[in-house]
Structure 1
């Protein structure tokens, strides 16, 4: 009983502490903006942002859903490609050695350089560029973490499977894959946020007139700075949802 109470208390502290800090930060933000008379184009007051968010909640939600859709497609596509690549690279060392320069180059290419090029390739009236950009951003962390996990197998575990005359597939299923899962989930948590960021950044450089990136630039160009920040809140919420879902999937997998 004592252990249950301690666990519940710890959960409440883990949830309550960030909420208290967040409320305090917003209150300080409001006080500074109001007290020093800071202009909205520098940073608007939280009360103004909240008012714009309430008045345009449907529009912000639609923009967030558009960005989230592209991010989700990119996350799924990038993850599948990364898993396939990591599996092949783990099985054949020459493939891994050949892929290392390509993965490294992909990791350092700025998204702002890729988006305009892909819009030229795929057209500005399609969402393809945003999905591809998100998939490329997702690929690198998932590939690297999964490959490391597939290679991290204790020699004693291999010897144990040999002593049981296990087939290569049985050794992979019972030792290699379970050992690689924590690494995979680490990469997936990082990639989930990158997918949202990449899809949003790609929206700044063209494509259909939807999504949070386009909405932010449109609001700023119209000098509606509080509304632009409301869209930023939509982007933050979208990223948090992606991260939270991957964290829940990881926790449920560990609980089994």
Structure 2
């Protein structure tokens, strides 16, 4: 429908606003070097924020599981971060980090990673908490009969039990980290990244190039999710 022009008629638009797929592909091929530079910048932000957010989220889950009285309340507050729109969060974080460094590149990188970290943290903390606390019947009692300490119980029982829940969280966090990276780039001071290129090309009415970066952004998300699924299948295969 898109390539044949039917979609243009349905949406009452023209080729300039909504370029044909062949045009988008040709732009990607012609500007591959520049596009890849921006792709790696976006992937770096997404991956760094995803790793930091996942680690912090898991540590929060451990604390919540260790101190149940206060843990559930803390998780409720953390999970509320999921309700914060990234579009509203990104400009605030960027403004807060404006004095981090005298270099715009460093300031922007710090701000973008913080945004992605916050986006990734909530999902991991909630799901990891379930993995650490929803144990098989009597498994906890069995560990106590062996006089296992807290650390032994964590390593032998709770950590392995939480692994599937970690991947459940990552299935949400990976797409979220890509979206968070793109949105934060849109508002960032330093002009680099797929998200920023989408904005810049729309501002100068280069819609074909903007669409090329939109397609590339979709590919980034698909590839990162596919990599996650491969890692999950390899690690969880041994558990079956």
TM normalised by structure 1 equals: 0.83
The reply to whether residue 115 of structure 1 matches residue 90 of structure 2 is: yes
Match of 2:172 among 190, 194, 210: 190
The equivalent of 1:166 in structure 2 is: 148
Specify every segment of 5 or more residues in structure 1 that has no aligned partner in the other structure, as ranges: 1-27
Instruction: Say yes or no: does 1:31 pair with 2:4.
Output: yes
Which sits farther off after the overlay, 107-116 or 85-94?
107-116
The Cα shift of 1:34 comes to 8.2
Higher helix share: 1
In 1: Cα distance, 2:210 partner to 2:38 partner: 12
How far apart are the structure 2 equivalents of 1:233 and 1:113? 24
Q: Structure 1 residues 147 and 34, CA, compared in 2 at 3 Å: closer, same or farther?
A: closer
How far the C-alpha of 1:51 sits from its partner, in A, is: 1.3
- Counterpart contact for 2:79–2:126, Cα < 8 Å: no
CA displacement, residues 68-118 of structure 1 (integer Å, 9 cap, x when unaligned): 111111011101101110001111112313313421331211111121112
Q: Select the residue among 154, 157, 173 that pairs with 1:175.
A: 157
1:137 matches 2:119: yes
TM (norm. structure 2) is 0.88
Contact 1:33/1:44 (<8 A) preserved: no
User: Does 1:67 find its partner at 2:42?
Assistant: yes
CA-based RMSD: 1.9
The gaps in structure 2 that reach 5 residues or longer are none
The number of residue pairs the alignment matches comes to 229
SS in structure 1 opposite 2:28? helix
**1:80 equivalenced with 2:52 (yes/no):** no
The alignment status of 1:128 with 2:110, answered yes or no, reads yes
